[in-house]
Structure 1
Amino acid sequence: MSSLLKPFSVCEGPCESSGVRRGSASSAPHQQSSARRLAAAGLGSLPAHQRSYAARRNLAAAAVGGRKITHPGKAILAGGIAGGIEICITFPTEYVKTQLQLDERANPPRYRGIGSCNVQTITCRGINTSLPPFFVFFVTIFPSVSRRFGTFEMLSNPMRDATGRLDNTRSLLCGLGAGITEAIVIVCPMETLKVKLIHDQCSLRPRYRGFFHGVSEIIREQGVRGTYQGLTATVLKQGTNQAIRFYVMNLLRNWYKGDDPRKEMHPIVTAMFGATAGAASVFGNTPLDVVKTRMQGLEAYRYKNTVDCAFQILKQEGPQAFYKGTVPRLGRVCLDVAIVFVLYEEVVKLLNNVWKTQ
């Protein structure tokens, strides 16, 4: 009877076939080592059912691809480095995309297409005209992408299962949360300044003599509030952007890894998945991007709000206007997302070697 009151050993079941019996002396060292591990993890003082739950939560710290779940601090640093390198490579396509979206049919239009826009940018205004908005992008892309990945990791880590796997629905929600946070804190003022500077450079009589003059004039005339034009459109655009990208990326990653969460992904595979995720976000939310760009331009005063802007575009230019700049945006975003995800993963691997976290 007394043997029935003894607690079950951790090694009950499959371990019994290897000679470890319930309550036997040979199981004592294992029980002692288990107790030491629980104490080291800070779980020794918890009741049994809480220890079981906490152990499962700690097990979720196992990383996808054989590494631990990314510490938010590493995500912030790796995201900033990846974003800074990426924008140096892809900004020319962003510049062309924004000019095409600002080019209204009623004005009449200045450009006949992507080729015409590229030729006029290089021959008529020169590459130096893109430098002011480039500086806006470059000096803010570090905190932008940093916050994106940092927020995503903070939201997703508690939602992962015991193997570190994140299901697709939760990745969509975490991406949405990361995009909304990024839009409110950083992206909206950054995008507003970028669009205003590009719009000014595209006008017949540019007002701003350079980056610092342009930023100071915008803030002097409109205040800090002026840098938050089109906030609603930006939140919608950026939230859906990251929701789609992280969802598609996670979907493809889970498909590729299958039942082996420790399976390594080659950088080329990561790049292909990233480009696919970027393309999905372009086709999914370019209409929101067009509305956002118009709401942040120098002629944003013409629109009462985001809905009025969308209605006027539809009425005056037709539904096809909502996909202006799709091709240059597609090239930029596919390259952008591919580069960022690859660099992010590689930088995190390097940080894991020098920055030890639990």
Structure 2
Amino acid sequence: MKFRNFKLVGHVIFGRGAFAQIDEIIAPHRKGDAPMIFFVDHFFEGNQPWLAKIPLQGKDKIVFIDVTHEPKTTVVDALRDQLKAEFGEVSGIIGVGGGSTMDMAKAVALMMTNPGSSADYQGWDLVQQRGVYKVGVPTLSGTGAEVSRTCVLTGPTRKLGMNSDFTTFDQIVLDPEMIKNAPVNQRFYTAMDCYIHCIESLEGTFLNAFSRSYGEKALQLCQEIFLEKDNWDDDADEKLMMASYAGGMSIAYSQVGVAHAVSYGLSYLLGTKHGVGNCIVFDKLEEYYPAGVKEFKEMVKKHNIDIPQGICKDLTDEQFNKMIDVSLGMAPLWENALGKDWQSIMTREKLRALYEQL
């Protein structure tokens, strides 16, 4: 048997206020006057007290990342071209934000050293060159983007990650203070990404002791936060940040499943945000994850969250077929969920019926 040899994040710092050390963390990685580029979620644009925490030096620059839509290969390529035209070389890219911002940071860091378009690298182990130094600083927790070996991008023909050993961050800064003021709905949707991929990992056919140990802990933390707690507090921030980390680790040696595979189609066609899309889909997956869906509905009710309904009701046959094509292209996810004969189980007709429920 041949075992998969995973590349994990190089360095991790955790603690309330840890972001204050970012300057000393990145200092050894500066290359002459080549700048550090901070990709910051556009949510923070204009928030000068918050932005003042970023330790700019020399030619360093803040680039605000518009996360209204999921990361696109065209935007990645444009940012790469912009940075090369302006600076020639950069010392590194620091992604400060949610999963989309961190994915953009990973993707652009890779494209600074790899030729062509980022769309050329959508797939598994296609990236050939190490990118520039890259750091992830989550301001939302749940996606696991801070520890994953992928950066998910919407390209010309599909939504698929740049999955490679070169994609993982060299450093992550886990500071619970950074996520404390996240909007309630956004925090829930992003946290449920963690909850859902734990369910998918723990009930998948790829499950082993490595993924189970991380997945069970992440699931426990989500349950403590969203079922046992009545009020959000500092303890919840810390638990959610570690749930995201452990949840991301749980799929390093496993995979996600039905909800993620279906939501990729929604994101590609409708631009549905990843966390919201997962919630929309998971809400209808009693057939595949009965216990998890029941518990999820309890969390939704307890926290007064609205899950969008009827988003596919006016779609054409052509649009349904495009979503189905994108979703069925996620073969590893379907195999993890349904086994090696998944294609005989999840037919186009059955997937169409599922999309029609959303």
TM-score normalised to structure 2 length:
0.23
**As a proportion of its length, which structure holds more helix?**
1
TM-score normalised to structure 1 length:
0.23
**As a proportion of its length, which structure holds more strand?**
2
